[in-house]
Structure 1
Amino acid sequence: MAELKPDSATTVRPGEELDLAVLNPFLNDAVPGFGNITECRQFPGGYSNLTYLLKTDAGTQEFVLRRPPFGATIKGGHDMGREFRVLSLLRSAGYPKIPEPVIFCDDETVLGCPFYVMKRVAGVILRAHTAPKMAISAETMRRISESLVDNLVQLHDIDIQKTGLVQLGKPEGYVRRQVEGWHRRYLNAQTDDLPDMDTLARWLTEHLPPENPPTLLHNDYKYDNVVLNPADLTDIRAVLDWEMCTVGDPMMDVGTVLSYWAEVADGVFEKSFNLTWLPGNLTRQEFADRYAERSGRDLSAILYYYIFGLFKNSVVIQQIYSRYQKGLTQDPRFAELLTGVQALARKGTKSIEHNKMR
């Protein structure tokens, strides 16, 4: 097995640099003992919010700064203040698997946008483009995927009433609002005529299921949003990227996970953003079965939530592609994203046609 090193940052992409001349004095004034930033690098993964590694001259503690992508105008999808609030609430509730939040800044004279800083949790992050090189055994991969399921069950078991997390959203009517909201987002970002997307939107509207009792929802739960212990990859040290966290039907979380969950027979695009197709991983159905067993929840309507997950992911990709088309971002990875929207939408319509997850 290749050496399992903590997730590393690289050189900041051109055009996405942070203005340290403004950021340094702000953090020095706002956070006692923070020190001056001596190194700023960027984590390369992800297509949405930008994440930077900060090292200072004040000690060995490293920090992570999160900010929206340049050119983003979708406040609901890039709400740094909300993500910081979620981390603060989870910390107050005693949930240990999160980075410690440090400071939130909504003064746009600092970086031109809201942002927040948290302490870094070092560890292994299994990204689609690097994990195959680690040569993780099929047996270990299976145990990691099982841990991912079990940790999701634990998240959904948090008492949202006693912890105050219920204030993060309005669980009643959550599924309907999500379907309607993501359909609106798609129409606002649409660049091409994609009949499969229209089919999915119509089917989701016409087949709304009865809602399950609400739980905490992460809403972007996948391998590259968890930090693993290098000494024991089945040990999840932290869950990252809480920007879309809310409360609602837990099956929406499960469906989103499954929509990311590529299998060996899936296409190149699906495999490009998750490594669940590597030998040993649970299949989508095995993931659902283990979740049902460990949580005691009914997953008989899981197809609906899987279809929603595919539709939501397609819309997110469409939004990014739309920004690229308008010249609001120059990241070359975004040029071919329309094919990803088409691939996921087609997977959804095929699942409807066969009445099972495809």
Structure 2
Amino acid sequence: MTSDLIPLDRLAPAIVAATGDARWAHPRAELISGGKSNLTFILSSDAGELVLRRPPTGELLPSAHDMAREARVQQGLAGTDVPVARVVLSDAGELIGIGCYVMEKVPGHVIRADLPAGYADRPDQRRTIGLVFADTLAALHAVDPGAVGLGDYGRPAGFMARQVRRWTGQWEASRTHEVEEIDELGRRLAAAVPEQQRATIVHGDFRLDNVVLDAADPGRINAVLDWELSTLGDPLSDVGLLMLFWRTEGEPSLSLIPGVTHLPGFPSRDEMLQRYADVSGADLSDMAFYEAFAHYKFAIIAQGVQVRAAAGAMGGQDFGNLDDEIRQLGQSGLELV
């Protein structure tokens, strides 16, 4: 399966040329389990490890899975206050038959369903993780896109109205049956888009398992990962997603995002919002809309994952039946608006 997804005989010479290291002439590739959209592989050789990102197999939705954009935004942010992995090479499709890029493997912990044994086991360390996470999002939104070569990375005017239309289109393209809650939420969001305060680089999927935390210092982020959905737009869309992903004690976890923020010591949602507001100076009075949109967007992402997994386009990964969760996300979004 891996050899079909990544033709190493074509990829290896390009890595050797990009790194200047002949030890990459015979790399090995392993799919990282957990990727739910684009496929992520660890490449290894005697020279060490690199990471390759490529789209899933099968028919792709329009404008999705653009590897060149992922690579470009990380190249632009290199040297800013936003930590990113160094891109080794980016290819439009000649190397493996579809767009991909290779980046350095950043050391540290990617936190998913559990904290590593002995890591951030004190409440003050967990609080620090939360605060630096909010600070990093504010740092991203403070970057001047034009100053880092990303002035044309998106069309920020009318961003949220366009986002609602885009994700409604994605829903229509991937739905397998009627879900009235999602349809109604889309209609309500389209009718209630707030005025945009400012335009910045947005990540589009900013959550704890998309950053690499320093293994020795939980209060340090070594890299922000997974820039598939990044663009120029309304930064509060990122904050709305942060609120969805930042689960608290007693809440059900999201099937695709089994996080740890419900554990004792992590800041509450209100504390995270306050920290972001203090650092960024943003007005958060319209957050209910952005949180509702986050529910809408994530429900549609979950639907897309479910469809691709059923079609065998997720490298053999299976995430089960997500229909009930998708419906509940729609209902929760309706309650917010």
Pair in the same fold by TM > 0.5? yes
Q: Secondary structure at the match of 1:66?
A: strand
Structure 1 residues 330 and 101, CA gap change in structure 2 (3 angstroms): closer
- Which amino acid counterpart does residue 204 of structure 2 have in structure 1? N
Q: How far off is 1:203 after superposition?
A: 1.1
Deviation digits for residues 246-279 of structure 1 (CA, Å, limit 9, x no counterpart): 1111111111211212122222436853222111
Alignment of 1:1-358 (within 5 A): 18-29=6-17, 31-34=19-22, 35-57=24-46, 59-60=47-48, 62-91=49-78, 94-95=80-81, 97-108=83-94, 110-128=95-113, 130-131=114-115, 136-269=121-254, 272-329=257-314, 331-352=316-337
1:98 and 1:238 in contact (8 A); partners too: yes
Deviates more, 1:322-331 or 1:176-185: 322-331
Aligned to 1:5: none
Q: How far off is 1:291 after superposition?
A: 1.1
Aligned to 1:356: none
Q: How far off is 1:232 after superposition?
A: 0.5
Q: How far off is 1:297 after superposition?
A: 1.0
CA distance in 2 between counterparts of 1:179 and 1:172 reads: 14
CA distance in 2 between counterparts of 1:258 and 1:313 reads: 12
Matched residue count? 335
Q: Secondary structure at the match of 1:169?
A: coil
CA distance in 1 between counterparts of 2:328 and 2:96 reads: 36
Structure 1 residues 195 and 73, CA gap change in structure 2 (3 angstroms): same
Structure 1 residues 55 and 326, CA gap change in structure 2 (3 angstroms): closer
- Which amino acid counterpart does residue 115 of structure 2 have in structure 1? A
Q: How far off is 1:181 after superposition?
A: 0.7
Q: Secondary structure at the match of 1:102?
A: strand
CA distance in 1 between counterparts of 2:292 and 2:316 reads: 29
CA distance in 2 between counterparts of 1:77 and 1:271 reads: 19
1:54 and 1:65 in contact (8 A); partners too: yes
1:271 and 1:277 in contact (8 A); partners too: no
CA distance in 1 between counterparts of 2:80 and 2:283 reads: 28
1:45 and 1:127 in contact (8 A); partners too: no
CA distance in 2 between counterparts of 1:193 and 1:329 reads: 24
Structure 1 residues 96 and 173, CA gap change in structure 2 (3 angstroms): closer
CA distance in 2 between counterparts of 1:278 and 1:16 reads: 40
Q: How far off is 1:165 after superposition?
A: 2.1
Deviates more, 1:133-142 or 1:150-159: 133-142
CA distance in 2 between counterparts of 1:206 and 1:253 reads: 20
- Which amino acid counterpart does residue 101 of structure 1 have in structure 2? V
Q: Secondary structure at the match of 1:333?
A: coil
Structure 1 residues 345 and 329, CA gap change in structure 2 (3 angstroms): same
Q: TM-score, normalised by structure 2?
A: 0.91
Q: How far off is 1:76 after superposition?
A: 1.9
Sequence identity (%): 33
- Which amino acid counterpart does residue 131 of structure 1 have in structure 2? L
Deviates more, 1:71-80 or 1:22-31: 22-31
Deviation digits for residues 65-96 of structure 1 (CA, Å, limit 9, x no counterpart): 111112251252200011111122222x6456
- Which amino acid counterpart does residue 96 of structure 2 have in structure 1? L
CA distance in 1 between counterparts of 2:62 and 2:236 reads: 25
2:32 and 2:42 in contact (8 A); partners too: yes
Deviation digits for residues 185-238 of structure 1 (CA, Å, limit 9, x no counterpart): 101111121111012101101111011111111111111111111111111111
2:249 and 2:262 in contact (8 A); partners too: yes
Question: What is the RMSD of the two structures over their aligned residues, measured on CA atoms?
Answer: 2.3
Q: How far off is 1:280 after superposition?
A: 1.4
- Which amino acid counterpart does residue 83 of structure 2 have in structure 1? K
Structure 1 residues 162 and 265, CA gap change in structure 2 (3 angstroms): same
Deviates more, 1:180-189 or 1:16-25: 16-25
CA distance in 2 between counterparts of 1:54 and 1:327 reads: 22
Structure 1: 5+ residue stretches without partners: 1-12, 353-358
Q: How far off is 1:40 after superposition?
A: 2.2
CA distance in 2 between counterparts of 1:286 and 1:16 reads: 46
